[in-house]
Amino acid sequence: MTTGLHPGGAPQDPRPTENQLLPRQGRVGHGALPADDRTRSYVITARAAASFDPVGRSVATARSFVRDTLQGWGFADIVDDAVVLTSELVTNAVVHAGTSADVLCLRSDDGVRIEVADHYPEREIPLQGNALNMGNPDREGGRGLQLCAALAGRWGVEYTPTRKQVWFQLNLPDRAVGTRTAGPALPSHLLPLADGRVRVAVVQIDRTGAINAWNEDAEELFGYPAEQVIGKPLTDLAAWPQTPGTSTGIVEALKLSRWEGSYGLRGANGRVTPVYASHLRVRDTGGEPSTVCLLVRDHERAVLQTPLRVSATDTTTSSEGHASDPFEVFIGSPAPDDLDGLLQRTVERARDMLDGDSAFLLLATDDETELEVRASTGLPSARQRFARVPVEAGTGRYGSARMPAVHEDLTAVPGAVPLLSGTGMRSVVTVPLKVEGRLTGSLGVAAESPGRYSNEEALRLQFAADRIALAVESARLGELERLRRGSLSFLVEASDLLAGTLDRDQTLALMAQMTVPTLATWCAVYTIADQSSDPYLSYVLHEDEERIDGLKALLSKIAPPDPVPTPGARVWAAPAEAAHQAALRTSMRSLGLGEPATVSSGIGTTLATAGAVGGETVVLPLVARNRVIGMLTLGKPTDEHFRQEILELAEDLSRRAALALDNARLYSERTAISQSLQRSLLPPELPHIEGVEVEVIYRAAGEGNEVGGDFYDLFPIRDGAYGFAIGDVCGTGPEAAAVTGLARHALRLLAREGYGGPAVLERLNSAILDEGARSRFLTLLYGELWPQEDGSALLKVVCAGHPLPLRLRPDGTVEPAAEPQPLLGVMDDLELYEQEVTLDPGDVLLCVTDGVTERREGTRMLGDDGLADVLTTCTGLTAGAVAARIMRAVERFASDAPSDDMAILAMRVPGLQKD
């Protein structure tokens, strides 16, 4: 309820004085019902009650309670007035009186009664001689009761020993049957402007947000045939502002029972058409909900826009002779929860208040050096949204941004208000939004005719701006906090994704996918191989996959941006210019004014690409380790601009992406070097041995490894003699690979110098020990092979600590073909000897490393016996088939991936072929 303030006076002491106390009785205001008559004339059909604690946030909670209650009862026509009055009365109860507030909503057949009570009955309202004359509405004192007198059909104040209650009754509008609202007959020149034929698009949305109805006017307005959009979400076409960390807006609007306002729809040509829309949530006879959307072009909004209801204050005059302004009631009403909604309501009410053709609102940056377009009506908002202009200096500045200004004719001062350039607006009034003396924004109203505004309108607009500035700043700070939280979450997730891969191509894809559509409509990544190389177009992504090929073709025809290392985003105009030129050439060809188009479908593709790329394009350098390694290019569709917060977020992302991309490059280079070195440790190819089949299978453990600690070799020593080896170096990594290379090359060199098997291994043992701390012990099976004329083969074998070779005879018998001897790299003095083995026709010699015999599954191990059992099943098979069967048996023995390297060398003597 209202505090003890006399109109025009200062707040009084909340403690009552003797002169302030009135008798404790029921006191009613203008048009009030006596309490004893309520039950006879006011039949209650529903009620809802709630109590609110004496804290500031309770006011917003009370507003939501009343709004939800009345909308649930179907009283949408009186929701605004009820919320305004409840807000004022609850504010007085919880803030000024300092007690809890009780709100009771009572529904009847013809309206609603709302009662707001506090628990401070001694604090009474001042007596007034005339209930309708309560002082200047500019004063704070008694404003709650002034609003009750202005908006309510009946109202009053009641007292009890424990509480005081202010109530008001709002009646439903009394309309004639078949008439909702009507206006007077007007001369033709005063009627709203519209095209020759007004097209009303009728779009129906199902419960999932997908389009299920699209009429002919919708096809004409936006260029999409019905079959192309049926089943697609409306959000794919709606150009609603999207910001990380905040809701998309259109999704929430489609959930409301009724919504009316402006946004944009992206047409088939890629351009955004500003529309005025009326959404109504309905349900069919089966209970299935859907949303019916009526849309017209924004300049034809009069076709759908609900006329403003004229309140009682419009027909009365205050004590000072000034007419009450409808915008003043809006100033005191509860603001929307989101910043965009608050700004949009502000510009629409400002335009209506001054009877303008357009209005706009700009918010200042933190340093107050620039203004950013955040809301407009009657202007191409999609083209201007988030555009920035300087405040004080430079070309295109906003003149007099820090004080009210009236421009009678903008043609006399070109560029005074850059936002209105090319819009046809002639006169404009602008006022600053200030909080505690600091510039926070600018509010303006413009008209198409010159000389429309004077200082009087500037004062009225400044009054409105002063009342709304604090609410706008509070909402802006709330949005900034949500944006920062969303940005932090976005960067954390991006860092995790980028850190999770070292693949260059995948890193490029992640960079683009994280920016589209969160930060931009399309993205292109240029990479630079080295300082002497030109930027190369490496990756292109668009939120519409059908536009990617056209976008890639367009970007490939223009020079890449300069690799400037300066941090921050810079505008790149080349893509938009190239897109417009391509669209112009396509249009001229379609009209027969240029070279004929070879492919008719290319016309639509070029125009769509131009619309997709025609907006603002920015380039951010990818700098890692003090070198520019590429550029991240972000773009918007036609006539759209980037918000500064988005650019700052993109800059943070580009720094992380650059480091991830450079790490992927370094990893790729080192991997290529490593693989090249690893491949050099294996023989390039196996020699062909007349009369002997040879097959080798090699598997290195670990991802990306081609060579491990195991190795093999088969090489010619001299005519008719061949050397073969299979070994296993202790350990893994570069140290083991170094011993592998030493062993393989030493074997070849010593064997070709004529040394026998024991001498070769003894000298290799000395070379390994000479490596000192880098030495590794080595198990090695080395042998020399001589094919014989009778079809057999003679082998001389030395098995130094290695799994013994197995000999398979044609009858299935398996036996070791050598005896174990000491391994290499442990002792200085070795006494090794070689053993001779003759492979008869049909015999197979199988040599493996311990990765085969030590294959494990839990506590089980394949072992030498298991290997021998598998080999017994290989009789009659070729060397290749024997090696393949052994490998399959090893892989099937355990389900886990092998943890050790494996090498299999199989040699078979087929014998002489008979004629």
Per residue in 129-182, pLDDT (tens digit) is 444 444 444 444 456 677 787 788 888 888 777 778 888 998 887 655 555 556
Mean pLDDT of the region 573-596: 68
Q: What is the pLDDT of residues 237-285, one digit of tens each?
A: 887 654 333 334 677 678 777 777 778 888 888 788 888 888 888 888 8
Confidence of residue 784 (pLDDT cuts 50, 70, 90): very high
Res 367 pLDDT > 80:
no
Model pLDDT, residue 134 = 47
Res 764 pLDDT > 80:
yes
- Beta bridge pairs of residue 107: 46, 112
Model pLDDT, residue 6 = 30
Res 377 pLDDT > 60:
yes
Contact criterion met (CB below 8 Å) for 158 and 27: yes
Helix (H, G, I), strand (E, B) or coil at 56: coil
Model pLDDT, residue 137 = 44
């490029």: which residue's tokens?
508
Looking at every residue in the chain, the average pLDDT score rounds to 78
Contact criterion met (CB below 8 Å) for 293 and 205: yes
Bin 270: left if φ > 0, else alpha if -120 < ψ < 50, else beta: left
Contact criterion met (CB below 8 Å) for 582 and 574: no
Model pLDDT, residue 641 = 75
Contact criterion met (CB below 8 Å) for 361 and 346: yes
**Pairing assessment for the beta strands 570-571 and 427-435 based on DSSP bridges:** unpaired
Give the span between the Cα atoms of 515 and 36, in whole angstroms. Answer: 67
Res 829 pLDDT > 50:
yes
Q: How many CA atoms lie within 13 A of 730 on its CB side?
A: 12
Most confident of the following: 22-31, 122-131, 446-455, 493-502: 446-455
Give the span between the Cα atoms of 738 and 785, in whole angstroms. Answer: 27
Model pLDDT, residue 436 = 80
CA dihedral 373, 378, 382, 383 (to 10 degrees): -80
| Distance set, CA 612 to CA 217, 606, 617 (Å) | 24, 10, 11
* Burial of residue 910 (number of CB atoms within 10 Å: 0-12, 13-18, 19+): middle
Most confident of the following: 166-180, 358-372, 815-829: 815-829
Alpha carbon distance, N-terminus to C-terminus of the chain = 120
The phi and psi torsions of 668 (rounded to 5 degrees) equal: -65, -40
* Burial of residue 557 (number of CB atoms within 10 Å: 0-12, 13-18, 19+): exposed
Res 499 pLDDT > 60:
yes
Model pLDDT, residue 293 = 93
Record the pTM.
Answer: 0.46
Model pLDDT, residue 880 = 92
Q: What is the pLDDT of residues 832-867, one digit of tens each?
A: 999 999 999 999 999 999 889 888 888 888 888 999
Give the span between the Cα atoms of 794 and 792, in whole angstroms. Answer: 7
- 3-class SS letters over 755-816: CCHHHHHHHHHHHHHCCHHHCCCEEEEEEEEEECCCCCEEEEEEEECCCCCEEECCCCCEEE
> Residue 173: what residue type?
P
Res 16 pLDDT > 60:
no
Model pLDDT, residue 295 = 93
Model pLDDT, residue 809 = 93
**Angle formed by the axes of helices 574-590 and 601-613, to 10°?**
150
Mean pLDDT of the region 673-683: 73
- Beta bridge pairs of residue 447: 427
